[in-house]
Amino acid sequence: MAILDVMITWIHVLGAVVFLGTMFVGTFVLMPVLKSHLGYEHRQKFVVNFIPRVRSIVRVFVALLVLTGIGRAILLHFTHEGPASTARLGVFGLKIFFAAIPVTIFLVAPKVLGKTSKEGLCCDPDAEDPPLFMGVMTSTGAALHYTAIAGGWLAVLCAVILGHMR
């Protein structure tokens, strides 16, 4: 049982790192650099070819993240000794809530924001949007990325707190 727990934990952590890391790099590095240094046509051509490929790879890691999260919850239920503490259940509930934010945004944003984009992408760098405000992107897609990243990191923080609660 210990080997299974370690394996599931490592796959879960890997999924979280790839998922959150990809959103972080895309939001805070790639898109601002593209908006600062490329014209709309070149930026659009790059985004249309790049984003769907990255999303298909990240989709695999999100599936792994969700499956291993469910597996970890089941293992925790069967291996936890002693009575369930209210504080521990509360932190676990917060972790689930915060983890659902980036996953939901990842799954829903292309369907919602893609309707306004001619290519169907949520990360479409619109020509009308101001490219940067004090170094930060200001589009709707960027705001969703900020929310998803914040939710993901709050879920990670809850996981660390859960790890220290015995």
Nearest to 31 by CA among 97, 93, 121: 121
Tell me the percentage of the chain whose pLDDT exceeds 90.
30
pTM over 0.95, yes/no: no
3-state helix, strand, coil in the chain (%, to 5): 80, 0, 20
The rounded radius of gyration (Å) of the Cα atoms in the chain is: 18
Whether the pLDDT of residue 67 is over 90: the answer is yes
pLDDT tens digits, 36-46: 788 878 888 88
Instruction: Say whether 147 sits in a helix, a strand or coil.
Output: helix
Contacts of 128 (CB under 8 A, 6+ apart): none
pLDDT of residue 166: 64
pLDDT tens digits, 89-124: 899 899 999 999 999 988 887 777 666 666 656 665
Q: Give the separation between CA 114 and CA 76, rounded to whole angstroms.
A: 38
